[in-house]
Structure 1
Amino acid sequence: MKYRGEEIVHARASDVTKGIVYDRPYTQQQKNIREPTLPTITNYNEILLKLLAHENIASRMPIFENYDKQVQGRTIVEAGDADAGVLQPFNEEKYPEEIRNTGIALSLDQCPRYNKIDPYWGAVNAVVESVRNITAVGASPQAVTDCLCFGNPEKPEQMWDFTESVRGIADACQAIGLKEFPGASLPVISGNVSFYNESKSGAIPASPMISCLGNMTDVHHVVPKYFQQANSVIILVGERKNECGGSVYYQLFNELGANVPKPDLKTIATEIHAVNAAMQQKFILSAHDISDGGLAVAVAEMSFKNQLGVEINIPGDLATDKKLFGETGGFILEISNANLTAVQKIFQNQQVPIFILGKTSKEPRLKMQNCIDVTVVEAKQHWQNGLREKLL
């Protein structure tokens, strides 16, 4: 390549298009991380309300209300109203009629505290949670893009963070795949890397951020996040495990923990496909993924809009706080009694276990595990004002 007679670039096309391959030395960081011993919980109501008001869980409306969420009138589900935003990009007569109702869903996730424990599982969780968010609104995951922010790659320990995160993204994408193309990996179609993010106090935690793109044939079939009616069955997808490492619950006690959530990469694709299949048959009234704050927070958030209460009990022998606030991923699904058998059959066919937690209620109270009993109004106030009060 020349400019005004001067040679600017002299390289093979493959050298330009293939990208740069880093081959730097890396060394695993030695971390002395253990599970904490927490004080005995005597007031689970207080813990739930503190979690709902925490800046990592509370409503992001103070942020969302400061920018245009209705660009070109194509937004169907705004940011914050569901697990993913949904747009209708072809809603004009100039587009063919058969694609006008096509919807796209977008989500963005990262798990910074998980990465402090293990950058591999932090990256896996970022991919899986982003995909779950797309699935929760009724869309089918099609691709991801990433933004990878790390410290100094010239330092072997920080280069190790990077290599482990990339390995986690690759493994998660391969495990999830594309439903329409068996054997294919969920493609990473773009992204960027930012190195040297550090100060005198040290490098930032490994921070792989994952955005997932999904599609749906008809935006009018978006699945809402909020409970829709009383006396529905509440279903749990994803058995609870002792995985509070990196959780907001531990953060309340200034603890990090060691037991980071570890999604089962052998079964995650069938879980996603089973949820999507039930949604395609319009069996799911509402859906929400389980992430920050755990199952208790997810259920509480689903109650806010329509002021519906719940009565639930989580099966299993796990400690009560781990059941309620552990961040093992999964879904909370609302199903009518009439469709329960059909939904159970779908999940049985995919060999994905589900658990009946309880039911929704006209009485606007959150009753969980015989240890939480708060009004929906009080819970919602903590959630709505938690971040706003910290920004004042």
Structure 2
Amino acid sequence: AAVVRFNFESWEGVAVSNGILPRMGDLDAYHMSAGSFDEAVRQIISVGGKLPNLTPGDNIFWSVNDNFCVPDSVYDPAINPDGKQKLAKLVQMCQALRDACAAYCIPLTSGKDSMKNDFKADGVKISVPPTVLYSMTAKVEDVRQVVTSDFKQADDVIYLLGETYDELGGSEFYQLYNELGANVPKVDFAKAKELYTLVGEANDQGLIQSSHDLSDGGLAVALAECTFGRDNLGASIELGCGLPGELTSTALLFSESHSRFVVSVAPEDVVAFESILDGRSTRLGTVTADGRLRVRHGSGELLNVATPALRAAWTNGPVNQTIGLESASALHQ
């Protein structure tokens, strides 16, 4: 999430986030919509936001706007024979929106809908997958207390918050192989709200040094991005104890299960932190000062890469290459 200070007369500000998962729309419209909503919520939680209405009169204000982008759902036996199915998916998306707003007590204040997203040429029609973008805002009482995503210092302890499942359907990993998959990530609203409340309690005590929500690319990408803030910081990660033993290394690294964070905690705060997040946190490893991201699983080393190389690859993705944001030579520097 982005955080903006209102003015120079106070330290109040606003956190702004977005959630969108178009790849998952072809798998399950309900879970795509629920997951997009949760993505926007957890981005704000990650920077230090707290859910509203946990106590009466808590003076915590949130708002969400929707932007539906769906194909024509008006049934016609000749030109739109699957219109009823498309309409059913739209209904599922709206049901998920209702469930998410009610679960997190976040009001839906506005929206914009685009309902005829089909491309037609030479007798062929291509329809967009059912998609919705959720744009969310939340008041921040003191922008000086915001938690950023970058690791802060060597020897801090790294944790994974939340649960990982075999949920690679619609993932960035599968997209690399032109596959869609089947196991779409699903939001457990009750468990997510419980975790977000605990994260707020930890932030109240100043126990979290850095926090990054997990989304596109799963744990592997989040860990890499956490190393981008400060020179020469890396991480040593072990995917063994505390994570589901039945999951493959691929699932552990690239599953896009919702409602998860990577956080770092100073060694002197570990006991206090674990007393709050007991049962919802898994210790992964430590921040290192060698500028490398190392990941092990059992007896095997899965990853050992210099963080500048990770940053260059991340910055120099296909989109940035297309628009010329950074030269491809950066990958080889």
TM-score (norm 2): 0.85
The letter for the 2-side match of 1:88 is R
**What is the aligned-residue identity percentage?**
33
Matches within 5 A, 1:149-164: 149-154=69-74, 155-164=83-92
Report how far residue 202 of structure 1 moved. 2.5
**1:334 corresponds to 2:264:** yes
Contact 1:176–1:268 at 8 Å: present in 2 too? no
Q: Which residue of 1 aligns with 2:238?
A: 313
Q: Which residue of 1 aligns with 2:6?
A: 89
Q: Which residue of 2 aligns with 1:384?
A: 315
The alignment's C-alpha RMSD in Å is: 1.2
Distance 2:100 2:24 in 1: 15
Report how far residue 217 of structure 1 moved. 1.1
Distance 2:145 2:167 in 1: 34
Secondary structure of 1:165 counterpart: helix
Distance 1:197 1:388 in 2: 26
Q: 1:303-354 CA deviation, whole Å, 9 max, x = no partner?
A: 0121311011123311001000111120001101111111111123xxx511
The letter for the 2-side match of 1:105 is A
**1:202 corresponds to 2:126:** yes
Q: Which runs of 5+ in 2 are unaligned?
A: 52-61, 75-82, 325-333
Secondary structure of 1:117 counterpart: coil
The letter for the 2-side match of 1:91 is F
Q: Which runs of 5+ in 1 are unaligned?
A: 1-83, 93-99, 178-185
Matches within 5 A, 1:187-266: 187-200=107-120, 201-266=125-190
The letter for the 1-side match of 2:126 is G
The letter for the 1-side match of 2:40 is S
**1:128 corresponds to 2:38:** yes
Contact 2:19–2:38 at 8 Å: present in 1 too? no
Q: 1:140-172 CA deviation, whole Å, 9 max, x = no partner?
A: 342211111111121211111211101111112
Distance 2:157 2:185 in 1: 26
Matches within 5 A, 1:270-289: 270-289=194-213
Report how far residue 383 of structure 1 moved. 0.9
Distance 1:114 1:253 in 2: 16
Q: Which residue of 2 aligns with 1:137?
A: 47
**1:104 corresponds to 2:104:** no
Matches within 5 A, 1:28-177: 84-92=1-9, 100-141=10-51, 142-154=62-74, 155-177=83-105
The letter for the 1-side match of 2:72 is N
* Structure ID, larger Rg: 1
The letter for the 2-side match of 1:173 is C
Number of corresponding residues: 291
Match of 2:287 among 339, 352, 360: 360
Report how far residue 282 of structure 1 moved. 1.0
Misfit runs of 4+, over 4 Å? none
The letter for the 2-side match of 1:365 is R
Secondary structure of 1:299 counterpart: helix
Report how far residue 209 of structure 1 moved. 0.4
Q: Which residue of 2 aligns with 1:347?
A: 277
The letter for the 2-side match of 1:87 is V
Distance 2:69 2:311 in 1: 34
Q: Which residue of 1 aligns with 2:306?
A: 375
The letter for the 2-side match of 1:287 is S
The letter for the 1-side match of 2:256 is E
Distance 1:347 1:303 in 2: 23
Report how far residue 90 of structure 1 moved. 3.3
Contact 1:244–1:327 at 8 Å: present in 2 too? yes
The letter for the 1-side match of 2:37 is V
Match of 1:325 among 233, 254, 278: 254
The letter for the 2-side match of 1:90 is N
The letter for the 1-side match of 2:196 is I
Distance 2:174 2:321 in 1: 22
Secondary structure of 1:220 counterpart: helix
Contact 1:143–1:189 at 8 Å: present in 2 too? yes
